């Protein structure tokens, strides 16, 4: 089994992440639960910045599940064509809107089991919606959280579900949602996929990746 950071060092890891990224927060723009759900679903395999460029027009034309359910698919494709997988996402956003209208009165449900039934909504999207929209303690594992957690030694899992479970076991529940944002920002700004900027990282003396690299 891969070596892990000792439990006693985890509070220090989280404190240092907070010092490096005090601004860490959800970077998507939204006004309602429906808009949050839509934005998170659209952000899969693309950047939050690119999503924020298209959602003002999308949400001004189709601000609710009822409006989106009646939208013209080609019109949605035209609006969001600059983001990745836009054709499939256009189909999903219409389909999930129709399901919200038919099954949930046009409202976004606040239960994980209901959210993952919606077209285009996986575990990560559901967890983000529950954390950001409903204030629930959740850890959403995207590529940054997966990479950083395994790299520094918080986790040693082979898939996102494993990372999620390990983080929930190793972190206090009241830190779950915050940890999600801190790990994302650390992955974006410091612990890059190809070449982590270890010289700018406050975790260097505790990070197992840094130890293996023999940089201190």
- In this predicted structure, the answer to whether residue 2 has a pLDDT above a threshold of 80 is no
- In this predicted structure, the answer to whether residue 216 has a pLDDT above a threshold of 80 is no
- Tell me, what's the pLDDT at 211? 59
- Tell me, what's the pLDDT at 173? 97
Tell me the per-residue pLDDT of 55-69, one tens digit each, with 9 for 90 and over: 999 999 999 999 999
Total number of domains in the chain: 2
Instruction: Please give the Cα distance from 44 to 101 (Å, whole number).
Output: 23
Catalytic (active-site) positions: 124, 142
Q: Examine the domain organization and report whether 50 and 88 are in the same domain.
A: yes
- In this predicted structure, the answer to whether residue 31 has a pLDDT above a threshold of 70 is yes
Residue identified by tokens 């409202």 is 107
Q: Examine the domain organization and report whether 121 and 143 are in the same domain.
A: no
Which ranges constitute the DSSP H helices of 10-142? 10-20, 33-42, 48-61, 65-69, 73-80, 86-104, 112-115, 123-134
Q: Examine the domain organization and report whether 128 and 166 are in the same domain.
A: no
- Tell me, what's the pLDDT at 215? 44
Q: Which tokens in the block code for residue 63?
A: 């601000």
Q: Examine the domain organization and report whether 129 and 144 are in the same domain.
A: no
Contacts of 22 by beta carbon, 8 Å cutoff, 6+ apart: none
Instruction: Please give the Cα distance from 20 to 165 (Å, whole number).
Output: 25
Domain termination residue (choose one: 134, 167, 193): 134
Q: What whole-number percentage of the chain has pLDDT above 70? A: 96
CATH of the domain at 80: 1.10.340.30
b/e for 112-148, b at 16 or more Cβ within 10 A?
eebbeebebbebbbbbbbbbbbeeebbbbbbebbbbb
Q: What is the mean pLDDT of the chain?
A: 95
Q: Examine the domain organization and report whether 168 and 125 are in the same domain.
A: no
Q: Examine the domain organization and report whether 123 and 61 are in the same domain.
A: yes
HSE of 196, CA atoms in CB hemisphere, 13 A: 20
Tell me the per-residue pLDDT of 150-193, one tens digit each, with 9 for 90 and over: 999 999 999 999 999 999 999 999 999 999 999 999 999 999 99
Q: Examine the domain organization and report whether 11 and 76 are in the same domain.
A: no
Q: Examine the domain organization and report whether 121 and 160 are in the same domain.
A: no
Instruction: Please give the Cα distance from 35 to 27 (Å, whole number).
Output: 13
> SS3 for 22?
coil
Other C-beta atoms lying within 10 Å of the C-beta of residue 164: 24
**Which domain does 165 fall in, by range?**
7-24+139-213
Domain termination residue (choose one: 103, 134, 165): 134
Instruction: Please give the Cα distance from 140 to 129 (Å, whole number).
Output: 9
Q: Examine the domain organization and report whether 150 and 85 are in the same domain.
A: no
Query: pLDDT tier at 3 (50, 70, 90 boundaries)?
Result: confident
- Tell me, what's the pLDDT at 208? 87
Kindly state whether residue 90 falls inside one of the protein's structural domains. Answer: yes
Domain termination residue (choose one: 76, 102, 134): 134
- In this predicted structure, the answer to whether residue 70 has a pLDDT above a threshold of 60 is yes
Kindly state whether residue 1 falls inside one of the protein's structural domains. Answer: no
HSE of 171, CA atoms in CB hemisphere, 13 A: 25
Q: Is the pTM of this model over 0.85?
A: yes
């Amino acid at each position: 089994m891969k070596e892990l950071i000792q439990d006693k060092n985890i509070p220090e890891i989280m404190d240092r992440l907070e010092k490096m990224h005090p601004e860490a927060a959800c970077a998507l723009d939204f006004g309602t639960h429906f808009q949050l759900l839509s934005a998170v679903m659209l952000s899969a395999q693309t950047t939050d910045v690119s999503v924020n460029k298209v959602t003002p027009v999308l949400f001004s034309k189709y601000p609710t599940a009822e409006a989106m359910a009646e939208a013209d698919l080609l019109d949605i494709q035209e609006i969001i064509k600059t983001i990745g997988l836009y054709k499939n996402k256009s189909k999903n956003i219409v389909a999930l809107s129709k399901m919200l209208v038919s099954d949930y009165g046009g409202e976004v449900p606040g239960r994980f089991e209901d959210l993952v039934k919606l077209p285009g909504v996986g575990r990560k999207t559901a967890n983000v919606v529950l954390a950001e929209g409903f204030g629930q303690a959740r850890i959403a594992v995207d590529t940054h959280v997966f990479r950083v957690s395994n790299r520094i030694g918080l986790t040693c899992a082979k898939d996102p579900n494993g990372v999620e479970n390990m983080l929930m076991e190793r972190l206090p529940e009241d830190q779950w949602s915050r940890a999600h944002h801190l790990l994302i920002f650390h992955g974006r700004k410091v612990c890059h996929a190809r070449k982590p900027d270890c010289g700018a990282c406050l975790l260097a003396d505790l990070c197992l990746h840094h130890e293996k690299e023999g940089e201190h």
